[in-house]
Amino acid sequence: MEELIAKRYIKALKSSSDEKSMANTTMVFSALAESFKDDKFIGVINNPNVPSGQKQEILLEAVKSAKSSQIDNLIKLLVENKRINIIPAMAIELVKDIANSTKTYSGVISSNSDIEAKVVAELSGGLSKKFDSNITLTSIKNDFNGIKVEVEGLGIEINFSKDRIDSQFIEHIIKAI
């Protein structure tokens, strides 16, 4: 639900902004979204005893360094409409929007073994060419028994699970018997 509301605000913001100001807004909202991970900050923002004016002052002080009247007005609008809690969702949607407009995405390769940098670079290059985008992959070692490549912005998930291959192999042998 928050994502849908955030997309509406972003759509309105995008219609009156250029690419540079959208990038600036994305940085500001990403930094502001980090504040929502602090329990004290959330306590103040969600406290019904704190007047909206004080909440607005806190948020405007946090974005003051951006020196953007557009961001200030957006913060005022969010406070006025009691939509402060969608700021983290707006940050996520702004990052996605910038990625889509610049065709620059990041993804993750998950595996239970180490993957060489050369292989990561080859996978990045191959996916970039296939999807006509700039895709940067990072390798994460976890307990996944196989290899999984995920690029969330494009909705790509490629998965080679050793367990699944083994079970399919066994099923094939059973059917052959």
2-22 per-position pLDDT tens digit: 888 888 888 888 888 888 888
- Which CATH architecture best describes the domain 2-99? Orthogonal Bundle (1.10)
Quick one: average pLDDT of 63-83? 87
Whole-angstrom Cα distance, residue 114 to residue 125?
Answer: 19
Six-digit token string for 13: 């913001």
Least confident of 45-54, 130-139, 166-175: 166-175
User: Phi first, then psi: what are they for 108, rounded to 5°?
Assistant: -130, 140
Class of domain 103-176: alpha beta
At residue 88 the predicted structure's pLDDT band, cuts being 50, 70 and 90, is very high
Q: Is the pLDDT of residue 177 over 80?
A: no
Tell me the chain's radius of gyration from C-alpha atoms: 22
Q: Is the pLDDT of residue 36 over 80?
A: yes
In this structure, how many other beta carbons lie within 10 angstroms of the beta carbon of residue 105? Answer: 21
Quick one: average pLDDT of 124-146? 87
User: Looking at the chain, which residues constitute the CATH 1.10.520 domain(s)?
Assistant: 2-99
Q: Is the pLDDT of residue 112 over 80?
A: yes
Whole-angstrom Cα distance, residue 61 to residue 71?
Answer: 12
Burial of residue 98 (number of CB atoms within 10 Å: 0-12, 13-18, 19+): middle
User: Looking at the chain, which residues constitute the CATH 3.40.30 domain(s)?
Assistant: 103-176
Q: Is the pLDDT of residue 110 over 80?
A: yes
Whole-angstrom Cα distance, residue 113 to residue 132?
Answer: 29
pTM over 0.85: no
Q: Is the pLDDT of residue 43 over 80?
A: yes
Mean pLDDT of the chain: 86
User: In whole angstroms, how far apart are CA 152 and each of 6, 130, 146, 159?
Assistant: 18, 16, 19, 14
Q: Are 43 and 85 in contact (CB under 8 A)?
A: no
Quick one: average pLDDT of 23-28? 88
At residue 116 the predicted structure's pLDDT band, cuts being 50, 70 and 90, is confident
